[in-house]
Structure 1
């Protein structure tokens, strides 16, 4: 994990995003235990409360589950939830803007498809 302490994005959000990325990429497998709040805070010199706040976001989103006395584990189905969420965000963040800009440039649907195909070939 790498944290940007100069970023406008709060550290707890960076913690949540990096753990989510590790689940997405398979670094943290479903059902596996993730490092403890204490381990993360010591390794990266971050306040444990900050790490916990980031982890709790993922618990609230049902990507992580806490097991009393055992630790925090990646929830079964977490990776597919992340993929589904990122696909929806991809549409909202990129496709909507792409279509809007294409219309402004008088680029029709077929031309957009051809440009996308060209991008895949490159």
Structure 2
């Protein structure tokens, strides 16, 4: 992953989202130890405090938990928490933007649905 340092999203949020994605992809599983703030700092060439802030964000959301003296680990419900969060926040925002743009382009609901279905079929073909 490459961090977008010039973007509007804070680096610590990008770190947290990267760890979330690793959990969703199965690269990090429940009760597995995650990277330390120092490992993340070295991996992404960032300040360890920034990495720690990203980890703390995930602890606050109960995606990670701390074991004193051992580090941070993936919680049992982490995947479900991430899926719910991304569905309610990310997808809702993207869909709203999509619908607004479709309205500006005078694309009706049925045409928009057809476009989504076509895109889904293309993705299915590409994944085979």
Please report the TM-score for the alignment, with normalisation by the length of structure 1.
0.81
Displacement after TM superposition at 1:50 (Å): 1.5
Gaps of 5+ in 2: 123-128
User: Is the aligned partner of 1:2 residue 2:2?
Assistant: yes
Q: 1:107 and 1:45, CA in 2 relative to 1: closer, same or farther beyond 3 A?
A: closer
1:31-50 matches, within 5 Å, as: 31-50=31-50
Supply the RMSD in Å over aligned alpha carbons.
2.2
Please report the TM-score for the alignment, with normalisation by the length of structure 2.
0.77
Which structure has the larger Rg over C-alpha atoms?
Answer: 1
Q: Report Cα offsets for 1:22-76 as digits up to 9, x if no partner.
A: 1121111111001222222234432221111111011111111011112100111
Q: Distance in 2 between matches of 1:80 and 1:94?
A: 20
* Partner-residue secondary structure (3-state), 1:35: coil
